[in-house]
Amino acid sequence: MAGKSWAQRAIDGFFGGRRSPTQMECDQTVRSISGASAVRPVDIPGSLSYTLVCTGSQQQQQDLIVSFRDSEARLDGGMVKLAKEIHGCLVPEATYQGMMSGADPPLAIYAMHCLPGISCLEALGCQVEMNSPDEARRVCYVKHPARYFARCWLKPQPVVDVEVQAEHQTGIRRRLANPRESPSSVLPSSTISELAYRLLMLFSQEYPQVLTHGDLSRTNILVDKDTYEITGIVDWSLAAVLPFGMELDCLLLTMGYMGLSGWHNYACRSQLHMAFWDEFWTASGVEDGAIITSCIITMVPQVTNWEELALLSEEFDTETGEFRYTMFAVVDDDAAYFGQLNIPKLEISFQQLTSALSPIPDEDIFPEWPHSGVTLTQAPEILPANIYIKRPSLALYNVFKEHNFLRLLPQGLMEEAQAMCGGAASLVSFVIDRHPNDLTEYLKHGIGTIDREPFMEALESAINHLHSLDWAHNDLNRRNILVNEAGMPVLIDFGSSHEIGKKLTTIRGTKGWIDEDMKTIPRRRSATTHPLSPRFAYGLTSQYLRIS
C-alpha cells in the first residue's frame, strides 16, 4: 500500500466500496468497446468515476476516453450538448454506451474523444515568485477562464429545472448558516443576513441565468503544457443553469496555491487579476462592468426616506415577546420588492434597507388573469384625478382574492374596479373610484348630512346583494363604508370576503363590530340576521347615525 500512487489509491477507493465490477473487468469492457490495444487510467482520477485512456485502436484515428460513472456523476446529454454549443471544441462530445452489466451499484458508461493537453493541476506550479516567461504563461492562462465566463454571459439560458435551482438555493443558505452559528465567524451576522436575502435577487428572472459547470477546478481543466492555453474542460456531470458568477470562486484558484503551510498568493497576483477582468470586459462587450452593475442596481430601487416604503413592520415572538426581525417592502413602477433584516427598525439605515431588498416574482404578487371568457376592463393610460389605485397588500397577498369577489359585483354601492395590467394580462393593481371620506370622517368633519333611512336601506341592499351571490363581507364597520357625493354608502374592502359556508381566514371582522367568534360563514341570507358581520355591525352603524 505504501508504494502506491495517490491516483491508484483513489481508484482503489472507487472499487473498494463496490460489489462489482472489478477494475480488471472494467478494463476488459473498455477494450471491447474501443478496440484499443492499450488502456490506462487517466492521470487525475475522479472519486465517482473510473476513466481510462484508450490508445492503439485501428477503429479510431484519435485516442478515446471511456468513463464508468456512478449514478451521482452521470452526464446529462442535454447539458453536454449545450456546453459544446457555447464552448465549442473545449468540450468533449460524450456518447452513452449503456450500463455496465452486473454492476452493483450501477455504473453508466460514456465514450468521448481524448482532448489534447495536460491537467491544469500538473501544469501550474507551486512557487510564489516566477520568472518573466512563467508570468507570461500565467497571464495567458487566466485570460482563458475570462473568455469562458464571457461566453456564458453572452448566452443566458431559460430556467427549465426549477427544482435544481431550489436545491442550490437551499444548499447555499445552509452553508451561510454555518458561520452565523459559529462563535468564531469572521463575518458579522448582518453581512450573512444580507447575503442570504441577496440570493432571491440572484435567482430571479431579471438576473442572468447561465450554464454553470459545477466543478470548475484544476482537475477538470486541460491546458497546453507549453503555453498554458486551455485546451479542454471536462466532466460536466454537475452542470446546471444557475446565476451568473456562481463559480467565479475559481478565479481565486488562479491567483495562488495551497501548500502544507496554507494558502499562498502568487507575487504577480495583481497582474493576473487585472488581466482576467480586462479580458472579460473585452470578450463580453461589457464596459467596466457597467451592464452587470446596472443589472443589479436597476433591479432594486434606492430607499432614501421612510415614506417610500409600502410596508414596514417589526415581528415579535408571540410567546416570549422577543424581537425577531423587521420586514419591509417597496413598490416601484409596478414592480414589488421585499426585504427582511434581523435589526430593529430604529437601527436600520436606508443603505441597509436598499441592500436587503429583493424583487418579488411577478407571478407571486401580480397574478395572470385566469378567466378567458370574462372581458377585463383595462384602466386608461392617463388616469383621472378622482380615482384610487389599490395595490397588492405585500404583507397579506390577498388582493387577487379580493378581485375575484369584486368582479361579481354590479356598479353602484360597491367599489367599482378596473384593472391595470402589466405584461400578458397580469393584474398589477385595481383602479377604483375615489371617495375621500369614510362614514366616520364624513360626519366628524361635517362634510355633509346623511338621511339615515335611505342610507341604511342602501347599505342593507348592498349586503343582501352579496348574500344573493353566496358571498359575505365579514368586516362591516364605519371605516369600510365610504360616503359618495350624494351622501349614500359605498361598501369597500373585500379582503375578508368569503363564499358562504367556507372556512374563514384569520381575518374575522373588526373587534367590537362582531358579536361572536366565527370560523365558518353560516348559510343565512338576510342582512339583518347574518351573525358574523351584518346583523351586529349593521345595528351599530344605524345607532351611530342616530347618535351623530
Residue 429 in contact with residue 446, Cβ under 8 Å? no
Burial letters for 301-331: b for 16+ Cβ neighbours within 10 Å, e otherwise? bebeeeeebbbeeeeeeeeeeeeeebbbbbb
Q: SS3 letters for 233-276?
A: ECCCCCCEEEECCCCCCHHHHCCEEEECCEEEECCCHHHHHHHH
Report the pLDDT value the prediction gives residue 508, as an integer from 0 to 100. 47
Residue corresponding to grid cell 359605498: 490
Fold of 120-159+205-297: Transferase(Phosphotransferase); domain 1 (1.10.510)
To the question of domain 439-547 being in CATH 3.30.360.10, the answer is no
Contact 430, 334 (CB under 8 A): no
Which residues on adjacent β-strands are paired with residue 316?
A: 323
| Domain range summary for the chain, segments of one domain joined by + | 6-114, 120-159+205-297, 306-365, 439-547
Q: pLDDT per residue over 115-144, tens digit each?
A: 999 999 888 878 889 999 999 999 999 999
- Distance between CA atoms of residues 142 and 149, nearest Å: 11
Inter-axis angle of helices 162-181 and 189-202, to 10 degrees? 170
Angle 94-99-104 from CA coordinates, rounded to 5°: 130
* Domain spanning 6-114, CATH class: alpha beta
Say whether 168 sits in a helix, a strand or coil. Answer: helix
Judge whether 340 and 197 are in contact, CB under 8 Å.
yes
How would you write the pLDDT of the chain (548 residues) with one tens digit per residue? 457 888 999 999 999 989 999 999 999 999 999 999 899 999 989 889 999 999 987 777 789 999 999 999 999 999 999 999 999 999 999 999 999 999 999 999 999 999 999 999 888 878 889 999 999 999 999 999 999 999 999 999 998 888 888 888 888 888 887 776 776 666 777 677 777 777 777 888 778 999 999 999 989 999 999 999 999 999 999 999 999 999 998 888 888 888 888 889 999 999 999 999 999 999 988 765 555 544 544 456 778 888 888 888 888 877 688 887 888 888 876 678 888 888 898 888 887 888 778 777 666 666 666 556 666 666 776 767 777 666 656 654 334 444 444 454 444 444 455 555 544 455 666 667 778 788 888 888 888 888 888 988 888 888 888 888 888 877 788 888 889 888 898 888 776 677 777 655 444 455 555 555 555 555 544 444 343 445 555 555 666 666 55
pLDDT for res 511: 56
Predicted pLDDT at 8: 92
Tell me whether the CATH fold assigned to 6-114 matches the one assigned to 439-547. no
- Among residues 212, 278, 197, the alpha carbon closest in space to that of 244 is found at 212
Distance CA 76, CA 65 (A): 17
What pLDDT is attached to residue 506? 43
Q: Are 395 and 311 in contact (CB under 8 A)?
A: yes
**What is the b/e burial string over 60-72, where b = at least 16 CB atoms within 10 angstroms of the residue's CB?**
beebbbbbbbbee
How confident is the model over 372-414, as pLDDT tens digits? Answer: 666 666 677 676 777 766 665 665 433 444 444 445 444 444 4
**DSSP 8-state assignment for residue 360:** P
Q: What is d(CA 213, CA 238) in angstroms, rounded to the nearest whole number?
A: 6
What is this structure's pTM?
0.55
296 contact partners, CB below 8 Å, separation of at least 6 = 201, 207
Give the pLDDT of residue 151.
Answer: 96
In angstroms, rounded to a whole number, what is the distance separating the alpha carbons of residues 146 and 248?
Answer: 10
